[in-house]
């Protein structure tokens, strides 16, 4: 696949067919990543302009670094893997976009990236109050910038986890191995994308697939045929499970 400097024009990317270089170009030119970087830069400027000293902003940065792994875990486990969103016609398509499509086709880069209409408000709702409590207005901007950069880093790590590439860094290798087990063996564990801390604390961590049974719902997240009939809104906008399985089989061949 030749690298284009307009990589998102009339193209779709499958991570299992990409090189690291192709991923870097696609990542750095995706509109969501550009928005995160631009918004983080603006927040840093606002931090500088509103700060009366560095203690508050630095404390806000530190607290954000501590809070981030917990937010990553709890949102992934209880919101993205929760079954309440697909049970309402008001939120079914949101759930389809933000997580069902990714598990149905884990290598589709377009749906791996979070949707801005969900990620930006969520980051703001978590980071801004935390930063404000610690460091006032400047702390809020500092926390928001930190959270945006952390999330951009999370998105890159997540991409690498689905790439046919073995990282030299041990930490990257380990989080990649556990995340692939989450997708292809049992999705009810290893919810942390960049950290296994909260999985360990709450009993959802597993090191090797042999430690837990294989799940029949890794690709549909529990949105089974029975659930499709009862709550049809995601199904109406999605291929059938048989078609999705056939696509995965053709791609693996």
pLDDT per residue of the chain (253 residues) written in tens, 0 to 9: 444 555 666 678 899 999 999 999 999 999 999 999 999 999 999 999 999 999 999 999 999 999 999 999 999 999 999 999 999 999 999 999 999 999 999 999 999 999 999 999 999 999 999 999 999 999 999 999 999 999 999 999 999 999 998 999 999 999 999 999 999 999 999 999 999 999 999 999 999 999 999 999 999 999 999 999 999 999 999 877 767 666 666 665 5
**Do 34 and 26 contact (CB within 8 A), yes or no?**
no
What is the SS3 string spanning 21-78? HHHHHHHHHCHHHHHHHHHHHHHHHHHHHHCCCCHHHHHHHHHHHHHHHHHHHHHHHH
């Amino acid at each position: 696949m030749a690298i284009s400097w307009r990589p998102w024009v009339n193209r779709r990317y499958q991570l299992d067919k990409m090189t690291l270089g192709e991923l870097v170009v696609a990542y750095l030119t995706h509109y969501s990543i550009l928005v995160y970087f631009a918004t983080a830069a603006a927040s840093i400027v606002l931090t500088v302009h509103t700060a009366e000293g560095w203690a508050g902003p630095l404390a806000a940065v530190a607290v954000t670094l501590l809070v981030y792994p917990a937010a990553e875990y709890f949102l992934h486990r209880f919101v993205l893997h929760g079954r309440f969103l697909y049970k309402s016609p008001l939120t079914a398509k949101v759930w389809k976009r933000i997580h069902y499509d990714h598990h149905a086709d884990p290598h589709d880069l377009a749906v791996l990236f979070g949707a801005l209409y969900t990620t930006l408000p969520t980051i703001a709702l978590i980071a801004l109050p935390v930063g404000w409590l610690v460091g006032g207005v400047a702390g809020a901007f500092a926390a928001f910038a930190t959270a945006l950069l952390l999330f951009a880093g999370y998105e890159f790590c997540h991409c690498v986890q689905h790439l046919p590439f073995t990282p030299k860094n041990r930490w990257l290798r380990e989080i990649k191995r556990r995340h692939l087990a989450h997708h292809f063996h049992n999705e009810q564990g290893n919810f942390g994308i960049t950290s296994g801390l909260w999985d360990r604390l709450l009993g959802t961590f597993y090191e090797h697939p042999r430690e837990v049974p294989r799940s029949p719902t890794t690709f549909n997240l529990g949105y089974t045929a029975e659930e499709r009939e009862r709550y049809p809104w995601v199904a109406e906008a999605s291929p059938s499970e048989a078609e999705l399985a056939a696509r995965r089989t053709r791609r693996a061949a």
